[in-house]
Amino acid sequence: MIEFYAPWCPACQQLQPVWKEFADWGDDMGVNIAKVDVTEQPGLSGRFIITSLPTIYHCKDGIFRKYQGARTKEDFLSFVDEQKWKSVEPVSSWFGPSSFLMNSMSALFKLSMFIRRCHNYMTEQLGIPVWGSYVIFGLATLFSGLALGLLLVFIADFVFPSRRFSSPDYYQSEFNAFQYVHLQTAH
């Protein structure tokens, strides 16, 4: 069982004593009980699509199920001991934490935290005003978009070259037009 929480969350703080008691029983039952601070592990919260706190998942043999029951030690124990988790629909393979989609979501969460750290460093350590940081990120976004777009155009032209320029007849017709123009201007 995994609990996703945040230190600032009142519902999470209220659950902590119950979760600790449950974790003590988990050792006796042979069940791993864990908790993840979403402020410290944004990648994991992205993989599991954590939209409310606290969120609890049951994991067995790589199959994840979201726990929706009451938040008492007895309910947690019966969920595991009586195998009530078998009646809960597993998380779809598309949205499983190890799927490509959730790996991408995790990367976006990590990127957002990196951008936040960069922003804080620029404003707090370097003394750049907040608007200056926004301008820097705006320009970086613009130029990286332009570079990626240009790269995509080069790749597309390499993979799918234009037929207009590959025909020998095209160059011959261009040469004939060029000669015609020069002959007309020479007379």
Q: What pLDDT, in 10s, does the model give residues 13-58?
A: 999 999 999 988 887 888 889 999 988 887 777 778 788 899 999 8
Position 166 pLDDT exceeds 60: no
Of 3-7, 14-18, 81-85, 167-171, least confident by mean pLDDT is 167-171
Do residues 67 and 3 touch, judged by C-beta distance below 8 A?
Answer: no
pLDDT of residue 184: 64
User: How far is it between the farthest Cα atoms of the chain?
Assistant: 104
Using alpha carbons, select from 81, 42, 28, 88 the residue that is nearest to residue 63: 88
Show which residues are catalytic.
9, 12
Position 147 pLDDT exceeds 80: yes
pLDDT of residue 87: 85
pTM for this one?
0.58
Q: Tokens in use for 6?
A: 């945040």
pLDDT of residue 127: 93
Walk across the sheet containing 63-67 and list its strands.
34-37, 2-5, 55-60, 63-67
Sign of CA dihedral 80, 82, 87, 93: positive
Using alpha carbons, select from 59, 55, 61 the residue that is nearest to residue 80: 59
Round to whole Å and give the CA distance between 96 and 90.
Answer: 9
Mean pLDDT of the chain: 84
What integer is the mean pLDDT of 114-129? 92
